Structure 1
Amino acid sequence: MNITAISDLESKALWDHYNLNRLTDTDLILSCGDLDPSYLSFLVTCTNVPLLYVHGNHDDYYDKKPPEGCICIDDAIYEYRGIRILGLGGSIRYRDTGNYMYTEKNMQRRIRKLSRQLRKYNGFDILLTHAPAYQLGDWDSPAHRGFESFVELLDKYTPKYMVHGHVHLNYGTNIQRTLQYQDTQIINAYERYSWTY
């Protein structure tokens, strides 16, 4: 299965200068958040493939105008063609306002509420998040620190992939697009990244 992940920056190649050939082989689109909802609606309309998303920390306006034709999988496991995808959007709380920012305890509580789904699906194959895991693709700023609870999820369930956004690749020279953590490949989906599952 060919998957395209997107996050944080609308790709000019996919939106402003749309060329169907760039997504012809894509079977599934995963959005890690902080993208214009019209962009997501545009992609799902043009490709006619499912687009699953989680909220980014700047996606409060999705509450009034969610992306049409797309599926929010925040706090849920969604199975597509046998692949189990767990969605946990939002970032670490770094200011008082924002619907999609969480303390570490908040995120732990969200994960505990998923225990029944995790048992039902016997884990998951892809962890789809906005924020990275702590010290696994996060960045040295209070707003871009990753969640320790995501590391615990990776340790316990060893998914094949974790896909996140939030840390823009242009923030610094030490930011990696992909990295390996035990049996999990971690992908920073900034703008767009495609791979074959």
Structure 2
Amino acid sequence: MVNVLAVSDETVEFLWSSRVRDLGVDLVLGAGDLPFSYLEYLSDQLNAPCVFVPGNHDVDLSGYSESASGWTRAGMPAQWPGPTGAVNADGRIVTVAGLRIAGLGGSIRYNSGSNQFSERQQRRRARSLVWGNAWQSQLPGRTRAVDVLLTHSPARGVGDAEDQPHRGFECFHSLVDSLDPAVMIHGHIHPHGRTPPDLEIGSTLVLNTVGYTLMDISPGIPPTIMRRRHGS
């Protein structure tokens, strides 16, 4: 069982203090649109790894690669603008703290900002995520391809909104069907003090984690939510 702190979009005063150490967290998941210094602080104070995907208000992190000689972008030395020590799961499946986590960041395109995609572009990215990691779903002893699907935006019709910037992605439905995660964790949709309902896509639990959610996750099993706070 892994104790997970999932955060997104809005900082929480309690978490940005030494009191956060009392939570006993094994893994931090960031669903986008948070100060990178906040993710770094949580990871440092909790002594826990951090896995994140970028939101539509985050800087463009595409094209960066790390080697023994440091970070590069387009073959040239570069300074990594993302959170130090964190794992960017955007377009990847990573295994951290015993959980397999698939990530797709960004929102639907609504202007010329970074980390925004048309439905067609995100569908292509989703297919690449599935095809590029298909072999991993065949590993012995696995009942699901991944444990967690971490996104910034929700799926269309499952916790999204009708205004263009907050419409979810249709392609996330087929992505969930392919990866069969126990839980899909997203941000982007601000509840403004309300508690949004927990939803489902098939057998996958869908959680809006704007603010924070503290949960226990065991591989292949839907999480047990321990504590949460939505909105400012």
Whether TM exceeds 0.5 here: the answer is yes
The amino acid of 1:92's aligned partner reads I
CA-CA distance at 1:71 after TM superposition: 1.1
C-alpha contact 1:118 1:124 (8 A) present in aligned 2: no
Match of 1:109 in 2: 124
Match of 1:78 in 2: 94
Moved over 4 A (4+): 61-64
Partner Cα distance (2:124, 2:192) in 1: 32
CA-CA distance at 1:61 after TM superposition: 6.6
Partner-residue secondary structure (3-state), 1:113: helix
Counterpart selection for 2:154 from 115, 132, 148: 132
The amino acid of 1:23's aligned partner reads L
C-alpha contact 2:18 2:45 (8 A) present in aligned 1: no
Q: Which has the higher helix share?
A: 1
Partner-residue secondary structure (3-state), 2:45: helix
The amino acid of 1:18's aligned partner reads S
Match of 1:23 in 2: 23
Counterpart selection for 2:199 from 179, 182, 186: 179
Match of 2:83 in 1: 67
> For 1:51-74, what per-residue CA distance to the aligned partner results, in whole angstroms no more than 9, with x for missing partners?
000000000176863111211111
C-alpha contact 2:196 2:208 (8 A) present in aligned 1: yes
Match of 2:37 in 1: 38
CA gap 1:61/1:81 in 2 versus in 1, 3 angstroms: closer
Partner Cα distance (1:157, 1:45) in 2: 31
Instruction: State whether structure 2 residue 190 is matched by structure 1 residue 168.
Output: yes
C-alpha contact 1:104 1:147 (8 A) present in aligned 2: yes
Instruction: State whether structure 2 residue 209 is matched by structure 1 residue 189.
Output: yes
Partner-residue secondary structure (3-state), 2:149: strand
Partner Cα distance (2:131, 2:200) in 1: 28
- Alignment RMSD, CA only? 1.9
> For 1:77-112, what per-residue CA distance to the aligned partner results, in whole angstroms no more than 9, with x for missing partners?
0012442110100000011x1120000000011122
CA gap 1:113/1:180 in 2 versus in 1, 3 angstroms: closer
Unaligned runs of 5+ in 1: none
CA gap 1:81/1:49 in 2 versus in 1, 3 angstroms: closer
Structure-2-length-normalised TM-score: 0.77
Match of 2:225 in 1: none
C-alpha contact 2:130 2:175 (8 A) present in aligned 1: no
Partner-residue secondary structure (3-state), 2:102: strand
Identity of aligned residues (%): 37
C-alpha contact 2:21 2:46 (8 A) present in aligned 1: no
Structure-1-length-normalised TM-score: 0.90
The amino acid of 2:171's aligned partner reads S
CA gap 1:114/1:62 in 2 versus in 1, 3 angstroms: closer
Partner-residue secondary structure (3-state), 2:161: coil
Match of 1:141 in 2: 163
Match of 1:100 in 2: 115
Partner-residue secondary structure (3-state), 1:19: helix
CA-CA distance at 1:135 after TM superposition: 0.5
